[in-house]
Amino acid sequence: MTQYALGLDIGGTFTDIVVYDPASGKTAAHKELTTPDAPHRGVISGIRKLFEARGIACKDVSRVVHATTLFTNALIERKGAPTGLITTAGFRDTLEMRREHKYELYNLFMELPQPLTRRSLRLEAPERMGPDGKVAQALDVATLLTQVEKLKTAGVSSLAIAFLHAYANAAHEEQARAAIREKFPEFFVSLSSEVAPQIREYERTSTTVANAYIKPLADSYLDLMSSEIAKLGIEAPLFMMLSNGGLTHIDEAKRVPIQLLESGPAAGALAGSTFGLRSKARDVLAFDMGGTTAKLAIVENGEPLIAYQFEAGRQQRFMEGSGLPINISTIELIEIGAGGGSIATIDALGLLKVGPESAGAAPGPACYQRGGSAATVTDANLVLGYLDAGNFAGGTMKIDVELARAAIAPLAQASKLSVEQTAWGIHSVVNENMAAAARVHVAERGHHAGDFALLATGGGGPLHGCEVARRLGIKRVICPPSAGVASALGLLMAPARIDRVATVAKWLSELNWREFEGAFVKLEGEAGAVIAKTLSQRNKPTFVRAADMRFVGQGFELVVSLPRGPYTARSSTALRAAFMTVYRKTFGHVPPAGDIEIINIRVAVSAAVGKGELTVSAGKRGDAGALKGKRKAWVGARERFEELPVYDRYRLAVGAIVRGPAIVEEDSTTLILPPKASAKVERSGNLAVDLS
């Protein structure tokens, strides 16, 4: 009996559904407009349509993996639950004091992100834990419950508990939770010692409050999604994609939902890594452009970079320090530009701007015929002839070129250009925005963009990928099969993975090696238990250790991958060498002397899900009729419309070469090949584009 894997990725504009048959390696996909008011409706509708079209029985699904932007949007749009904070007496204003750091030193009107919970809902409880984990003042439970009563009266439904130095000893936080559950069982409670058990009070408190802010939403949503999928007749377990590129079971996702914030983009980065390797490209820029945003992930030596903190809700999109710090393990991503729904405007200086405002799924771009009137990137691409109005999103919806032209016309009139020239301007501006952001992001990590291949995914990635690559000095672009739904495919490639962190704050020369090894073993045991609960089959887990290290006296750490344990006093030389290697790579030289301090230790435990490797077919191979016809499309290099050949990607044989300018179409996306470029169909199914 066929056992299918099902991937569900809810984006800002489209919900992508992919079903995979491991026996044949075949996939089928469907794009459904996202239903922002009730995201599960778009998912269920899309599953029904896909399964009916392909004759798939719900009972034959053995695994469901889900990613969503719902929780990220709740943070950005401030639509989470009414949240209160209970903290140590004297630390009520930690969220406002931040680090007393100005992300724009000379900006007198700089705006800092407002805390997710206002000051009147941040209350104090008498208690004190020392940095060594010893109790300095016992928790006053009576006062704690009085403060919770005040928050209940104020309408709070979710509580964050962040006591001083709780990373060293969680006893007071656990005592507080027990007391609150006994008297106020209706509250959702998040403990900093569980959400972010590491030093630095501001970041730990910020992360815990963010978790509490989305916890009620996550709890109800995940229960609802599980229920609705079960009603279809799908009995398979539902897994959730985490920001670190792994997946976990529902209970773990509900326990710390902040881990889900970057789940969709993380899946796209995984797909970028996998498909890049199939084209023998170990260093790639995974460029994923959807309907709302475009994101970029750096893949080095076949692996996406992992970060252990990122910022949500930035006041300035590309300005570090302008957002809310979230301490979770996440595939390192940067939002590098706009998406297909991003709105174009003329500013006060008469300059054309694109984004960050988006038409989203409702009402969507003007051409969607859903009431939108603003000009968007998708409208521009349609006017330029890059999209097929009669077969958009695999024919699941019709779009109207005249509505697109009408939306762009006011901008054309204001800029004294034709509608077509304005459309090309919109296309070019968004390309330059993305290239500029990518160029800075790559340079900040010590690389040159031209040393990478660009792997383009998402509905808009192949549309814009070649032009973005050209601006970055990249000569090779890879377009995988089913590129438009690559994030959903990435869900099916993900292993089960759990990351854990603990603060030790010890000098390397003074380590108690037995305690040090014991701390790692404890974290590995906790993470391994979650993996075991996630997977029914006993796939052998992989354990990876790391540590946050610095020279004594420095203020911030470098994350250093460590050799395998167990550790003894003889491990000191190997740990020092690992730190020196990372330090030299980061800063170019190493100080002549100095002791090393280990602040945090980290473990990542992962295990493969299912059997074998995901293989994705490009579709029918070698059939006649790959050339579908011709269509008038704008050739930017020549600033004119030309009749371009349009190819059906599913009918291109392995080894076939398409020379630009040309258009290559598949159900979920369209590849635009510029002049002098050529694309070859590889055995893996990838289209490898040579821009040289």
Number of domains in the chain: 4
- 216 lies in some domain: no
Phi and psi at residue 161, to the nearest 5°: -115, 115
**Smallest Cα–Cα separation from 117: which of 211, 258, 254, 13?**
211
Greater confidence, 193 or 313?
Answer: 193
Supply the DSSP string of 474-514, one letter for each residue: --EEEE-TTGGGHHHHHHHHPPEEEEEEEEEEEEGGG--HH
Shared-domain flag, residues 511 and 589: yes
- 577 lies in some domain: yes
What local confidence, expressed as pLDDT, does residue 524 receive?
A: 96
CA distance 382 to 551: 56
Shared-domain flag, residues 557 and 638: no
Question: Over 90: is that where the pLDDT of 75 sits?
Answer: no
Fill in the amino acid letter for 248: T
Shared-domain flag, residues 183 and 124: yes
- 584 lies in some domain: yes
CA dist 135 → 168, 198, 302, 617 (Å): 10, 18, 46, 60
Lowest mean pLDDT among 411-415, 426-430, 443-447, 560-564: 443-447
Question: Over 60: is that where the pLDDT of 1 sits?
Answer: no
The answer for residues whose C-beta is within 8 angstroms of residue 241's C-beta and 6 or more apart is 65, 66, 67, 247, 260, 263, 264, 266, 267, 491, 494
Shared-domain flag, residues 108 and 199: yes
What local confidence, expressed as pLDDT, does residue 123 receive?
A: 97
In this structure, are residues 347 and 280 in contact, taking their beta carbons and an 8 Å threshold?
A: no
The answer for residues whose C-beta is within 8 angstroms of residue 467's C-beta and 6 or more apart is 427, 428, 431, 636, 672, 674
What local confidence, expressed as pLDDT, does residue 102 receive?
A: 83
Which residue range is the domain that position 407 belongs to?
342-428
Q: Is 588 left (phi over 0), alpha (psi -120 to 50) or beta?
A: left
CA 211 to chain centre: 17
- 327 lies in some domain: no
CA distance 431 to 210: 33
What local confidence, expressed as pLDDT, does residue 422 receive?
A: 95
When pLDDT is cut at 50, 70 and 90, the band that residue 73 belongs to is confident
Shared-domain flag, residues 676 and 563: no
- 416 lies in some domain: yes
- 17 lies in some domain: no
What are the tens digits of pLDDT across the range 121-133?
999 999 999 999 9
Lowest mean pLDDT among 3-7, 382-386, 567-571, 573-577: 3-7
Of 168, 185, 207, the position where a domain reaches its end is 207
- 37 lies in some domain: no
Shared-domain flag, residues 423 and 353: yes
Helix 486-493 and helix 263-278: axis angle, to 10°?
80
Question: Over 90: is that where the pLDDT of 13 sits?
Answer: no
What local confidence, expressed as pLDDT, does residue 538 receive?
A: 66
Of 393, 428, 463, the position where a domain reaches its end is 428
The answer for residues whose C-beta is within 8 angstroms of residue 543's C-beta and 6 or more apart is 524, 528, 564, 603, 604, 605
When pLDDT is cut at 50, 70 and 90, the band that residue 692 belongs to is confident
- 536 lies in some domain: yes
Task: Label the pairing between strands 188-191 and 158-162.
Answer: parallel
What are the tens digits of pLDDT across the range 324-352?
999 999 998 887 777 888 899 998 888 89
Tell me the pLDDT of the chain averaged across its residues: 90
CA distance 543 to 561: 12
Question: Over 80: is that where the pLDDT of 396 sits?
Answer: no
Shared-domain flag, residues 169 and 87: yes
CA distance 365 to 369: 8
Shared-domain flag, residues 149 and 195: yes
Shared-domain flag, residues 346 and 380: yes
What are the tens digits of pLDDT across the range 592-618?
878 999 999 999 999 988 655 566 655
Lowest mean pLDDT among 154-158, 348-352, 406-410: 348-352
User: Average of pLDDT values for 122-148?
Assistant: 96
Question: Over 70: is that where the pLDDT of 647 sits?
Answer: yes
The answer for residues whose C-beta is within 8 angstroms of residue 212's C-beta and 6 or more apart is 81, 83, 85, 158, 159, 160, 188, 189, 190
**Smallest Cα–Cα separation from 292: which of 439, 460, 431?**
460
When pLDDT is cut at 50, 70 and 90, the band that residue 35 belongs to is confident
User: Average of pLDDT values for 168-185?
Assistant: 97
What local confidence, expressed as pLDDT, does residue 69 receive?
A: 83
Question: Over 60: is that where the pLDDT of 620 sits?
Answer: no
CA distance 377 to 125: 52
CA distance 361 to 368: 9
Q: The tokens 């997710």 sit on which residue?
A: 116
Nearest-5° angle of CA 620, CA 623, CA 629?
105
CA distance 202 to 97: 8
User: Average of pLDDT values for 166-178?
Assistant: 97
CA distance 288 to 487: 8
**Smallest Cα–Cα separation from 500: which of 255, 304, 691?**
255
Of 606, 640, 666, the position where a domain reaches its end is 606
Give the other-Cβ count within 10 Å of 99's Cβ.
10
CA dist 684 → 160, 607, 619 (Å): 48, 25, 11
Percent of the chain scored above 70 by pLDDT? 97
Task: Label the pairing between strands 476-479 and 453-457.
Answer: parallel
Greater confidence, 337 or 54?
Answer: 54
Lowest mean pLDDT among 22-31, 375-384, 596-605: 22-31
Shared-domain flag, residues 534 and 577: yes
Shared-domain flag, residues 519 and 573: yes
* Terminal CA-CA length for the chain: 48
Task: Report the CATH number that the domain containing residue 591 is assigned in CATH.
Answer: 3.30.1490
User: Average of pLDDT values for 209-218?
Assistant: 96
What local confidence, expressed as pLDDT, does residue 28 receive?
A: 87
Shared-domain flag, residues 107 and 171: yes
